[in-house]
Structure 1
């Protein structure tokens, strides 16, 4: 499974990534629209060890986004796997990201979910007020399918992602 694009790639999270993940999750520049996390490094390592069991059972997948030189620049997670659909989130990119890391990592997650896992759609939620991310997903072809007091709910299909990727393919050259 090659999850690499023009400037970034995805690799599965390992226990050794706990400090990096914690640094992202505790940074106020990145965590405004994320659920809280304990600042304890050992708790993060323990969570990753439990997660690795879920990964082996294909219940969820947690990735480090890294530049092609191996510099970590973010995280993204696939979870809430349902009949025919997957969810993704825990998407954080730091100041070390490449110019197109957001677009590339999104395409890689969709490649993983649609091509590797074989799902026919993706569902996800975005907290209201997270306007940049909402705009990003709409530009990618996501369709809003619901909302509640705190979140907007979206779905996207492989065809919508393919169309978006074709439209944007020139920027990666």
Structure 2
């Protein structure tokens, strides 16, 4: 697997030992308003990670811990729902330990992984309608809304749109 590192962050694959950190993020009311609910059980989280590792080996999904360059974990991000020419990403949480441009850096790293490592040409994802900050973030990156339902907006973004955004924001992420 390629080294996924930016100016102030790096991504590493989740391990069972990350269960407590993940659970702390998922259960924290500051971060979980737009996430599916989970059971507050450390053993259940470890079991989920253990089963996930089979999907990782099969290259069906990839779950990362976002760490600052100094090794302090500050979030999670996941690639899943791999299709013929597109990958989905989500489970994106950044906590109070994040760096100033952690959102940009982690998004660009996950696109790098999907486009360069996995070879996809575009990405698809959904955002809950109330999550206005994240919707604006994706739109500024060049994502295009392709559908919606009662709860979610559905987006697509191409590799070239991400490259354009990287070029515009290079001073913040390099």
TM-score grouping bracket, smaller chain normalisation: over 0.9
Aligned to 2:151: 150
Shift >6 Å, 4+ stretches: none
| C-alpha RMSD of the superposition | 0.6
- C-alpha offsets along residues 40-71 of structure 1, whole Å, 9 cap, x if unaligned? 00000000000000000000000000001100
CA distance in 2, matches of 1:110, 1:84: 13
Structure 1: which 5+ residue stretches go unaligned? Answer: none
**1:172 to partner: Cα distance:** 3.3
Pairs aligned (count) = 173
**TM-score, length of structure 2 as denominator length:** 0.98
SS at match of 1:81: coil
Q: Is the 8 A contact 2:105 2:173 kept in 1?
A: no
Aligned to 2:139: 138
Q: Is the 8 A contact 2:104 2:173 kept in 1?
A: no
Q: Where do residues 1-173 of structure 1 align in structure 2 (5 Å cutoff)? A: 1-172=2-173
Structure 2: which 5+ residue stretches go unaligned? Answer: none
**TM-score, length of structure 1 as denominator length:** 0.99
